[in-house]
Amino acid sequence: MSEVSQGSFPETLEKDVLRLRDKALIRLLMQEKGRELVYAGLSGVKVRDILRWSKYLSRVIVIERPFQDTAEQLDFRTEVILKLAPTFNGNITVIFEDIWNCLISRQYVNVFGTVPDIINLDFCGGMLYETHMEYPKQRQAFQELFAAARDYREALLILITLMPRDRGSETYKQFLRHHLQQLIDGGYKMLRSSVESNLRFHERNNLYLFKSCLPILISDIARAYNFRVRTQYIRLYRSMIHLAILCRFTPDVLGVGPDTESIVRNMNAPIRKLLPNGRETQEWPPQIELDR
């Protein structure tokens, strides 16, 4: 049966290296929870991520945009189930829907009666198709995801792979400048010259901007639902960026306060690039310095 996935990239060494690093995080999360994990996300017809991580998974939801051709959609479902059935038996669900709408509707709760432990947003292109950072569908999807996870008091591992669009650069720049200005206005003493140098470094291209914007954006949303967000690692490769973000529920509090130091840590973190041979390079931005 031929591959019918919509817009998939060919397999690369870099992608498999990242898959193995994600596998280590998934294993640790499974050990922490003391059970096998529930997966939901974009996997493509080859379901390579799921097969690589299957040892630590009990149930899977594969999400894919609807096909215009009914026969292609049936082929996709059949091929996915044939690949996964030997491992998961009947614990496989294929949903044909825009993933943001799927997260908003909380279909995963209807399917498995719980929230997924792993959300895999593995896009062939961009995540934000509009130029405005507050594009409602993405924000609402993350809000619903964290609201559901709060109900079950579950930690989440969010994996994101995407190609930042050329559009929207000015919005991302404004987003970072707004957050850093908030820190300064709130009394966080930083040398303004070091802040400006750091921002200029990140404003060079959209991969660098996303390296800083996405963890801050997700953390902003998660805090309202009592989650603390920790970026486990970020890697750039080719024209893509991959992020692994662990979100932990904090009980008995009314919202989690902003972690100002994490924003500065994120901005000061190096740009780490994964090369086609599996090795890495890193480039350090000008460091934001405290004004003592």
For residue range 119-165, list pLDDT tens digits in order.
999 875 444 444 444 456 788 899 999 999 998 888 999 999 988 76
- Tell me, yes or no, whether 262 lies in a domain: yes
Return the pLDDT at 6: 42
Q: Does residue 70 fall inside a structural domain?
A: yes
Which range of 7-16, 70-79, 161-170 scores highest in mean pLDDT? It is 70-79
Provide the residue range defining the domain that includes 205: 13-283
What is each CA distance from 237 to 102, 163, 181, 212, 279, in whole angstroms?
Answer: 28, 10, 30, 16, 11
Instruction: Report the SS3 class of residue 292.
Output: coil
Structure tokens given for 104: 């908003």
Strands 156-162 and 280-283: unpaired
Q: Which CATH number characterizes residue 204's domain? A: 3.40.50.150
In a domain, residue 71? The reply is yes
pLDDT in the model for residue 256:
67
Kind and range of the H or E element at 116? none
- Residue 36, domain member (yes or no): yes
Here the tokens at position 182 are: 């908030």
Q: What is the average per-residue pLDDT within 173-183? A: 87
Residue 1 lies in a domain: no
pLDDT at 52 over 90: yes
> Is 107 contained in some domain?
yes
What pLDDT score does 292 carry? Answer: 59
Query: Does residue 289 lie in a domain region?
Result: no
Q: Is residue 5 part of a domain?
A: no
Overall residue count recorded for the chain in this entry? 292
* Residue pair 244/22 in contact by the 8 Å Cβ criterion: yes
Q: How many domains does the chain have?
A: 1
Contact 127, 88 (CB under 8 A): no
Question: How does residue 286 score in pLDDT terms, banded at 50, 70 and 90?
Answer: very high
